[in-house]
Structure 1
Amino acid sequence: MSQDAPRNSIVIAGRYRLEEKLGRGGMGTVWRAYDELLGRAVAVKELHLGDGKEATGALREARTVAQIKHPHVVVVHDVVEHDERPYIVMELVEGGSLADRLTTDGPLDAGETARIGLALLGALSAAHHRGVLHRDVKPANVLMEAGTGRVVLTDFGIARLAGSTTISETGAFVGSPEYTSPERMQGASAGPESDLWSLGALLCAALTGESPFHRDSLGGVLHAVVYDEIRPPAQAGPLIPVIRGLLERDPARRLSVAEAQRPLSAYVTTGSLPSLPLPGRAPGPERPAAAATAPAGYSPTERVTEPAAPGRASKPRPGLRVGLVAALVVVAVSGAVAVTSLLGNDTTGQAQGPVPGAPAASPSPAADPSAARPSAPAAPATATATATVTAVAPAPAPAPVQPASAKPAPAGYRVVTDQQGFALAVPNGFQRSTDAQRVFYVSPDGAIRIGIKVTPATPGGALGAMRVSDTNGPDNNPGYRDNTVVPTTHNGLPAALWEFTWNGFTAAEGPRHTYDLGWDENGRMYDVWVSAPVGRLAQARSHFDAALDSFVPAG
């Protein structure tokens, strides 16, 4: 019988009379129904599955989901079969979905978004405790109960027990690519962290009306999830550190449920966000180190790695280009929302560390320790690689040119128009400093530095220059580690992201972490970075985002 035909007279399992179709998705059709045995309204989800083996597995997993008891998880009343088709009987939540609300009323403010996020963290915690992964956390699967505002996570129809594969025998999985984590796109076994990535994307959607990875094509979505810069929307305001932590591409660096709950709970209660554990910390007993993965298109011999947490070595891994190609083939053939891809790098940007012989751009007396010991000269960002990967003298910087009109500065920042021919937003109180090649804007305590370097474009482009600098990193930065260089884009232009940790200027200050983005534009290569102590990465990343979002180069 047709799944879309009127079902007023259909009674399944001898008691559930199907009445009105409430919605349909890739995994099933949801009906308003009436439980004739208990005399109550219910929701019935008719699963759209293939063979008997798939149906049996879905029923088994649905019964596991039924054991999850939490006020923000939809209540599963029954799991039945009718005409060899599985059905899940659930509580009927009167009210539309979060997706409906965003369509009708527009984006939410930070307070309401935090409330919803906190509720969903509780739901995911309960599911994960039972060993169940949701795997499709998105606004359409979040119900908003009318009258009470209760947040309900529903549609565990494609949930899987933790540890099971996320790929079907056909090489595809069903889900929503714009909310799917990089590791799931890789086709690897995914853990609870994958649901937390989806939650981070959902919070962005709540604040703006759409996923940060929304693109016009599936290929564009894949590229956005794996490679593109991830910068939380300006509307996120105080929630930016939480969203950043959830959208860490390395699952081992992603915020856990508890780590995200604490600041969101404080914000919902007090209206302010406390400090929180930051991505980039060393893995602990509950956060094992994750293997690094090379981006698509790179050979196994290329030194392209996932950024590791401090204290953990980065390890080159073979590329997984075949997985991405297979995903696109599956989509083209089946027409389903099926994807396999790669685990990419966190593309929030990176920054350049000190260069031996160059004065530290800090008002504090701390000196760059690398300048005190013999080492190879620093590889300038415009260097070109040879067989021995040596540095070449930088070309003279182009004559200063006035930039186009500067973009508005976010709260707490001011726009500066630099005499070197660019404009950007820097935090209030940061002071300008220079050396022979670079411009710095330095925090009052000297701990955080925003750096900008403008040079003529070179044949190797930003990616080649960053790779040369990365190769020379151990010579230029004592304790150089957790380093990675990945290709990306900036405002639609080819770019490269470089990230690393090093020992820092002084033992008292401790290690520093650097985020650096370089790109070519109008015949010049622009290099923008932020460097800060590892304990102040939230500030550093906010400053990095503000600098990149507001940066206007010379015309």
Structure 2
Amino acid sequence: MSADTGRGHRVIAGRYALTDVLGRGGMGTVWLATDQVLERNVALKEITFSVDVSAEEREVLRERTMREARAAARLDHPHVARVYDVVEEDGKPWLVMEHVSARSLQEIVEERGPLDPQAVAKIGLDVLDALDAAHEAGIVHRDVKPANVLVDRTGHACLTDFGIATTTGDSSLTTHGALIGSPSYMAPERANGEEPRPPVDLWSLGATLYAGVEGRPPFDKGEAMATLMSVVSEHPAPMLRAGPLESVLRGLLTKDPARRATASQARRDLQAVLAGPPPGSPPPQWTAPPPPQAPGPVAGDKVERIDSEDLRALASASKALLGSVARDIAGRRRERKAEERDGGRRNAQQRVAEKRGAPPRRPEPPVAEPRRKRRFKRRWVVVPVLTTVIVVALLLVGAAVGLALLFGLL
């Protein structure tokens, strides 16, 4: 039961006194609270499911939150905001988490603008370590995004908010097939309704680091289904500021999870970006970034509920798009094979003819157009010559007749 301390502070589970609101999101409100037993500050997340979910889905999410929060409480890692406890108050789950003195990457980018690639690489390495710890414990975060990455004054990061996390093997869908998450940072396989595996967190990490260095998410169309369609079928928006991070981000944002960069590959590449070029090596030829971007809101953070009907329509549209591309590729392959087959058949016929002693096949005569051009040119040579011969002959005949008349022979 909740109570009042007499100083205007609500107390949850008879222990945690709420003080200030730290933040609000689609899944609830995060409070700064005091643990009155251990006398320490904690972060209390009130799970309210403010996204539009049915009563049945709300119950499923409540049960799942309780179960997975207890699983996340097993994590003990310096780059994971620990979950101390999960309690239930007024029919709602409350997550009791470590209070980290830091600000979210979302807030930092909105206030300062995009960060430089080395700073983002440092953040990425810390979040990657946190994800490794979660995945080893069989936990998939499913909601890695700038708002859930806390960055302290030294530039180190901490991953928080396992509110919609799931253990490996669990389904990412509610009882009616609705999908809960932030579309701009959601992996394509989640949009296709596949079971969430660790690669979905690597995709979300790539999208998060992209937003940190570019100041915007790689996929955002302003509307949930349009954004998901972009995630499934389009390339990320062009990178203008990523520089040495670009290849790392492209590896993490590979749509096929089987070809996506692994955690070890991403770590190696992020370490290379953070270290910079080796001493004495020529600096890489990166395109100069545009002028500094003015601080402002970073889109795509909102948690959305995607209905099963919309997911089926998305899957159908993406399959149609992929089918069209596949048909084009298959058509080109058939044309190439037909050309190769015809060429091989002609070569085989030529080889058989040579074995039988037949004379080699003569090449096809040239087309008529060049011959017409040659006749045209010869005509301009032959006609003047014939004309000259005729004129000379006439002159000779005339001279002979004149001589005969002169000597009285005619």
User: What is the CA–CA distance in structure 2 between the aligned matches of 1:135 and 1:169, rounded to whole Å?
Assistant: 18
Provide the aligned C-alpha RMSD in A. 3.1
Point out where structure 2 has 5 or more consecutive residues left out of the alignment.
50-54, 279-305, 342-410
2:193 corresponds, among 160, 164, 187, to 187
CA contact (8 A) 1:73 1:123 kept: yes
How many Å apart are 1:149 and its aligned residue?
A: 2.7
CA contact (8 A) 1:185 1:342 kept: no
Larger helix proportion, structure 1 or 2? 2
User: How do 1:474-485 and structure 2 match up within 5 A?
Assistant: 474=337
Alignment-derived partner of residue 16 in structure 1: 16
Equivalent runs, 1:230-269 vs 2, <5 Å: 230=236, 233-269=239-275
Sort the Cα spacing of 1:105 and 1:341 in 2 relative to 1 into closer, same or farther, 3 A: farther
| TM-score normalized by the length of structure 2 | 0.67
1:117 maps onto 2:124 in alignment: yes
With over 3 angstroms needed to count, the CA separation of the structure-2 counterparts of 1:121 and 1:476, relative to structure 1, is farther
Please give the alpha-carbon distance, in whole angstroms, between the structure 2 residues aligned to 1:342 and 1:114. 37
What SS does the corresponding residue of 1:22 show, helix, strand or coil? Answer: strand
1:472 matches 2:335: yes
| CA distance in 1 between partners of 2:148 and 2:73 (Å) | 17
| 1:224 counterpart residue number | 230
Distance 1:152 1:8, change over 3 A: farther
Matched, 1:71 2:78: yes
Q: Give a deviation string over 1:461-513, Cα, whole Å, max 9, x none.
A: 999765521433556799xxxxxxxxxxxxxxxxxxxxxxxxxxxxxxxxxxx
**Equivalent residue of 2:144, what SS?**
coil
| Aligned equivalent of 1:136, options 143, 151, 154 | 143
What do the CA deviations read for 1:174-206 (whole angstroms, capped 9, x no partner)? 110000011000111121001111111111111
Higher strand share: 1
After superposition, the Cα gap between the structure-2 partners of 1:133 and 1:8, relative to the gap in structure 1 and judged at 3 Å, is: farther
What residue identity is the alignment partner of 2:332? S
The residue type equivalent to 1:82 in the other structure is E
Deviation of the 1:131 alpha carbon: 0.5
1: CA distance, partners of 2:133 / 2:335: 47
Residues of 2 paired with 1:128 and 1:59: CA distance?
Answer: 19
Aligned twin of 1:25 = 25
Contact 2:193 2:311 in 1 (8 A): no
Q: CA deviation at 1:244?
A: 1.2
User: Which letter maps to 1:17?
Assistant: A
| 8 Å CA contact 2:78, 2:158 repeated in 1 | yes
Distance 1:271 1:88, change over 3 A: farther
- Residues 9-62 of structure 1: CA deviation (Å, up to 9, x unaligned): 311121100111111112121101011111111110111255555323211110
Matched, 1:326 2:309: yes
Rounded to whole Å, the distance in 1 between the matches of 2:175 and 2:337 is: 45
**Secondary structure at the counterpart of residue 252 of structure 1:** coil
| 1:162-311 equivalence runs, <5 A | 162-230=168-236, 233-271=239-277
Q: Which runs of 4+ in 1 moved over 3 A?
A: 49-54, 339-345, 461-467, 470-478
Q: Which fold has the larger relative contact order, with Cα–Cα distance below 8 Å and residues 6 or more apart in sequence?
A: 2
Structure 2 counterpart of 1:179, which letter?
A: Y
- Partners of 1:222 and 1:74 lie apart in 2 by 29
Pairing of 1:515-534 with structure 2 (within 5 A): none
- Counterparts of 1:85-104 in structure 2, within 5 Å, are 85-104=92-111
- Is this contact kept in 2: 1:66–1:75, CA < 8 A? yes
* Higher radius of gyration, 1 or 2: 2
The offset of 1:136, in angstroms, is: 0.7
- Give the distance between the partners of 2:274 and 2:316, measured in 1 at CA: 35
**Aligned counterparts of 2:154 and 2:340: Cα–Cα separation in 1:** 56
Structure 2 distance, partners of 1:235, 1:254, is 22
For residue 206 of structure 1, what is the amino acid of its counterpart? G
Question: Could you tell me which residue of structure 2 aligns to residue 394 of structure 1?
Answer: none
Residues 271/70 of structure 1: CA separation in 2 closer, same or farther (3 Å cut): farther
- Describe the shift of the 1:149–1:238 C-alpha distance in structure 2 as closer, same or farther (beyond 3 A): closer
